[in-house]
Amino acid sequence: MSLSDPAAVIILAAGEGTRMKNQTPKVLNHVCGRSMLGHVIAASRELAPGRLIVVTGHGRDKVTAHLAEHASDAEIVVQDRRGGTGHAVRVVIEAVGLIHGTVVVTYADTPLLRGSTLSDLVAAHRAHQAAVTVLTARLDNPTGYGRIIRDAGGAFTGIIEEADASPEQRAITEINSGMYAFDGELLADTVKRVPTDNAKGEEYLTDVVSILRGDGYPVATAACADPEEVLGVNDQAQLAWARRVLNERLLHAWMRAGVTIVDPASTWIDVGVKLEPGVHIGPSTQLEGTTTVAAGAQVGPGCLLRDTTVGDGATVVNSVCESAVVAAGLTVGPFAHLSGGRHQ
Catalytic residues: 19
The two beta strands, 285-288 and 267-269, are parallel
Alpha-carbon distance of 270 to 243, in angstroms, equals 10
**Phi, psi dihedrals of residue 149, rounded to the nearest 5°:** -100, 130
Sheet holding 298-299, edge to edge: 260-261, 280-281, 298-299, 315-316, 331-332
Separation between Cα atoms, residue 205 and residue 203, nearest integer Å? 7
Helix 36-45 to helix 60-70 angle, to the nearest 10 degrees?
A: 50
User: What are the backbone dihedrals phi and psi of residue 34, each rounded to the nearest 5 degrees, phi first?
Assistant: -145, 145
> Residue 240 contacts by C-beta under 8 Å, 6 or more apart in sequence?
none
Say whether 111 sits in a helix, a strand or coil: coil
Residue 31 burial by Cβ neighbours in a 10 Å radius (0-12, 13-18, 19+): buried
Q: Measuring CA to CA, which residue among 117, 136, 133 is closest to residue 125?
A: 133
CA geometry: angle 16, 141, 103, nearest 5 deg:
50
Taking alpha carbons only, the member of 88, 96, 90, 113 closest to residue 37 is 113
